[in-house]
């Protein structure tokens, strides 16, 4: 590997690769930000569901406490 490359030849390649790496890094950071937002939303939803599961269920009247249904005359 005793070859040498002039700065004039290497610099455009170096700049191009730096630009590619910058773009890739920016893309990856954007993906991380999007995934972090999804994780935060999922955690909030999970906390909401856990809180709802721990609340007592009060859907409608307590049928056991209702008076018996009045009987009608049979005809």
Quote the pTM value: 0.59
Per-residue pLDDT tens for 45-72? Answer: 999 999 988 887 777 777 778 787 777 7
Residue burial 17-35, b: 16+ Cβ < 10 Å; e: rest: eeeeeeeeeeeeeeeeeee
- Rounded-to-integer distance, Cα 22 and Cα 15, Å: 10
Q: What is the pLDDT of residues 24-43, one digit of tens each?
A: 999 999 999 999 999 999 99
Number of H helices, E strands in the chain: 1, 0
Taking the C-alpha atoms of residue 32 and residue 38, their distance in angstroms, rounded to an integer, is 10
């Amino acid at each position: 590997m005793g070859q040498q490359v002039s700065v004039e030849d290497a610099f455009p390649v170096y700049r191009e690769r730096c630009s590619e790496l910058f773009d890739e890094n920016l893309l990856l950071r954007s993906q991380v930000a999007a995934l972090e937002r999804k994780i935060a939303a999922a955690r909030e939803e999970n906390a909401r569901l856990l809180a709802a599961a721990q609340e007592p269920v009060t859907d409608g009247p307590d049928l056991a406490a209702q008076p018996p249904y009045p009987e009608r005359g049979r005809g």
